[in-house]
Amino acid sequence: MPKRVYIETYGCQMNVADSEVVMSILSKAGYTPTSEINDAGLILINTCSIRDNAEQRIWGRLEVFKHLKKKKRDLKIGIIGCMAERLKEKLLEKDQLVDIVVGPDAYRELPSLVAEAEAGHKAVNVLLSREETYADISPVRMDKNGVSSFVSIMRGCNNMCAYCVVPYVRGAERSRNHESIISEVKELFDNGYRDVTLLGQNVDSYKWEEGQSVVGFPELLQKVALVDPLLRVRFSTSHPKDISDELLHTMARHNNICKHIHLPAQSGSSRILKLMNREYSREWYMERVKAIRTILPECALSTDMITGFCTESEEDHKESLSLMEWAGFDFAYMFKYNERPGTRAARKFKDDVPEEIKSARLSEMIALQNKNSAKLKKNDIGMIFDVLIEGISKRSAEYLSGRTSQNKVVVFPRNELSKGCYARILIERTTSATLIGRSI
């Protein structure tokens, strides 16, 4: 019987990319992936620790797995990723349920850790590394559409934003060799992929040094764009303190570098930004947005925002709202501040904004963003976009669905084109999440 592994992924795109690396490592060790949990001899959960509710979801899943394990005694369960790194051996205490705990830099050890678990021992490896980038590992693609894929270009983070657990669970920042990135992208293109997203917690600080030569992010992005004009290139996440004009000019020069920047502001108050240790002010952020609007007039912009960070006053909150109004974000991920153990904010500041106020501010922010994005969508009516087709629309088999360079979802009546092709679409109407048009 082949050994089957089922993997469930939570958290950010980095975890999605990591699960593909994990599958590759386990495939070489004789495991085959399954999408049917009941067939699996090994279940892995790739976890997230960013907010407490992300971890609560995992505890909830473990309750479900408890029943599976009762039915199937030799089933092995592994917790991998950020929560494994944060809680380490503590995860083994849960009802004797978890057999394997592996942090994000120890995936190469998975085959031996699984073997150890199969021999009846608990297996843990949560060592962080200064070098590991899994550069030589060719990920097993688990995406559904075969058109768009993530490519990890760096790991870890050196930024130490006061609220954030990522530097503790992902370790120090390190960049991956650009040659291995380019060969992975070429392979994706040859296999029919037409959209790659280069991933890192702070892509602007990508840097590969070899002897005298240094490859920074703008240069890497250009190299990827030159793989083929039919390949779209995206990236995430940019840090406002590091995003350079050189990068914006590189984006302007290449039609296939997508015109969308995810530029998390977190707050619109310089005082809060300072406490957050974001290393930029409201004015700096606004200046960067102006540069984007000047150099890349058709660029879409999105953000992450946190409400109710330590000491946030009504006035600070209003500054976040006014920044959002001013910037005109096409999209925003908005969160209530959640204190994470061990972070700088947890050690130094009091989590002093009451829960009801955090919630009220979040609702107000979401309402504003909904209004802004609806207004911006209206501006797209009558515009023409090149849409990369990703497949048949989820809502109706009569429609195809794809995305614009700006990362906006477009649906249009089905024609002879299929996924991986580009269609030129005139936008005729919009819903809250989607642009609807017809092929011209």
Residues that bind ligand SAH (CB under 6 A): 50-51, 163-164, 166, 201-202, 237, 239, 264, 266, 304, 306, 335, 337-338, 340
- When CB distances are held under 5 to 8 angstroms depending on the partner's kind, the choice from ligand SAH, ligand F3S, ligand SF4, none that residue 167 binds is ligand SF4
Q: Among 48, 162, 334, 411, which residue sits at the site for ligand F3S (rule: CB under 6 A)? A: 48
Q: Which is nearer to ligand F3S, 11 or 420 (CB)?
A: 11
Q: Which is nearer to ligand SAH, 178 or 340 (CB)?
A: 340
Neighbours of 102 (CB within 10 A): 26
- When CB distances are held under 5 to 8 angstroms depending on the partner's kind, the choice from ligand SAH, ligand SF4, ligand F3S, none that residue 340 binds is ligand SAH
- Say if CB 100 and CB 75 are below 8 A apart: no
Q: Which is nearer to ligand F3S, 236 or 250 (CB)?
A: 236
Pattern of binders to ligand F3S over 154-183, x per CB under 6 A?
Answer: -----------xx--xx-------------
Q: How far is the CB of 170 from ligand F3S (least distance, A)?
A: 5
- Say if CB 52 and CB 74 are below 8 A apart: no
Q: Which long-range contacts (CB under 8 A, 24 or more apart) does 390-396 make?
A: 390/145, 390/147, 390/148, 390/419, 391/145, 391/147, 391/419
Q: Which is nearer to ligand SF4, 175 or 202 (CB)?
A: 202
Q: Among 14, 21, 23, 161, which residue sits at the site for ligand SF4 (rule: CB under 6 A)? A: 161
Q: Among 15, 34, 152, 159, which residue sits at the site for ligand SF4 (rule: CB under 6 A)? A: 159
| Ordered DSSP codes for 43-111 | EEEEE--SSHHHHHHHHHHHHHHHHHHHH-TT-EEEEEEHHHHHHGGGGGGSTTT--EEE-TT-GGGHH
Q: Among 34, 49, 175, 407, which residue sits at the site for ligand F3S (rule: CB under 6 A)? A: 49
Q: Does 201 bind ligand SF4 (CB under 6 A)?
A: yes
* Whole-number Å distance between alpha carbons of 93 and 409: 44
Q: Does 164 bind ligand SF4 (CB under 6 A)?
A: yes
- Say if CB 109 and CB 125 are below 8 A apart: yes
Q: Does 91 bind ligand F3S (CB under 6 A)?
A: no
Residue 380 tokens, joined: 């797209």
Q: Among 11, 240, 264, 437, which residue sits at the site for ligand F3S (rule: CB under 6 A)? A: 11
Q: How far is the CB of 166 from ligand SF4 (least distance, A)?
A: 4
Q: How far is the CB of 237 from ligand SF4 (least distance, A)?
A: 7
- Closest-CA residue to 198 (of 144, 249, 251): 251
Question: What b/e readout covers 208-225, taking b as 16+ CB neighbours within 10 angstroms?
Answer: beeeeeebbbbbbbbbbb
- Closest-CA residue to 332 (of 361, 363, 309, 301): 301
Residue 41 tokens, joined: 């001899």
Q: Which is nearer to ligand F3S, 163 or 412 (CB)?
A: 163
Q: Does 239 bind ligand SF4 (CB under 6 A)?
A: yes
Q: Candidates 7-15, 233-241, 404-412, 432-440: pick the segment binding ligand F3S (CB under 6 A).
A: 7-15
Q: How far is the CB of 219 from ligand SAH (least distance, A)?
A: 21
Q: Does 261 bind ligand F3S (CB under 6 A)?
A: no
Q: Does 12 bind ligand F3S (CB under 6 A)?
A: yes
* Whole-number Å distance between alpha carbons of 178 and 153: 8
* Whole-number Å distance between alpha carbons of 363 and 370: 11
Q: What are phi and psi of 241, to 5 degrees?
A: -75, -20
- When CB distances are held under 5 to 8 angstroms depending on the partner's kind, the choice from ligand SAH, ligand SF4, ligand F3S, none that residue 14 binds is ligand F3S
Q: How far is the CB of 54 from ligand SAH (least distance, A)?
A: 10
- Point out the residue whose Cβ comes nearest to ligand F3S: 11
Q: Which long-range contacts (CB under 8 A, 24 or more apart) does 34-39 make?
A: 34/4, 34/5, 34/6, 35/6, 36/6, 37/6, 37/68, 38/68, 39/4, 39/6
* Whole-number Å distance between alpha carbons of 334 and 4: 38
Q: Among 78, 139, 167, 437, which residue sits at the site for ligand SF4 (rule: CB under 6 A)? A: 167
Crossing angle for the helix pair 355-379 and 314-327, to the nearest 10 degrees: 10
Pairing type for strands 422-430 and 384-392 reads antiparallel
Q: Which residues bind ligand F3S (CB under 6 A)?
A: 11-12, 14-15, 48-50, 82, 165-166, 169-170
Chain residues that interact with ligand SF4, rule: CB under 6 A: 157, 159-161, 164, 166-167, 201-202, 239
